[in-house]
Structure 1
Amino acid sequence: MIILDTNVISESLRPRCRDAVTAWLDAQAAESLYLTAINAAELWAGVAVMPEGTRKAALEASLDDLLARLFGARRLDFDHDTARSYAELTRRTMAAGTLLPLADGLIAAIALAQGFAVATRDIAPFQATGVAVINLWEYRG
């Protein structure tokens, strides 16, 4: 099972998605791909700060339905146990001299709790946590 990082979801929604990302997504079984509440928050924040216009209005009107259609019930929440795991990840990465961005750390904690990998372009923070990482931008199908 694989959590799609926010940059993967955003890329897939672009009018001209990178070929490597499209090829990798097309090669996956939809039921193996997951979204976290953290990704949803990042996506909504991204739409909120977009300049006013047609694209923003369209995304505001359709993002919930789009995520429901793409992921259905395959959405993972951040719970109390995952919060404790996040704290431990933060301690470990800080001890190793690595700064763990908040959203990446929260997603990594969810992935580790579930035993899932993370598909992303931004591999370094996830590698620092020990989660399995897939870099779609290097996919060669």
Structure 2
Amino acid sequence: MSDQRNEAPARADYAHFLPIGTRWMDNDVYGHVNNVVYYSYFDTVVNQFLISRGVLDFAHGEVIGLVVETGCRYFASLSFPDPVTAGLRVARLGNSSVRYEVALFRADEARAAAAGFFVHVYVNRHSRRPTLLPDNLRRVLETLVV
């Protein structure tokens, strides 16, 4: 029996994809993309998806998402100049929170080099209190639910 915690996720398990170019500055002294940069890639694919679907107005929207939890597992190194594709899915869609899962794939590889998650709690911009997901946001996120 395989241990799914140690098996890199498959590309086919994700609903949305975004190519992300690695940069020279992403590498650390060990010659691979530094762990903190992976989180930047996660943030990029989620926010690109939300902005491109018209459901995130980060400058003026009444409802914003705050990150309350993150995690990442590493299966293989990424390095500049590797082309990377971020895969995105939603694992849990609650009343005011969303668990996004992201996998990073080198070039056209079928298995992820890294897989992680973060949880957004959606809050009122001014009070910072949790609020129900707006209907338009919920509809868009439902397309990513696995």
TM-score, with normalisation over the residues of structure 2?
0.26
Higher helix share: 1
If each structure's strand is expressed as a fraction of its own residues, which one has the higher value?
Answer: 2
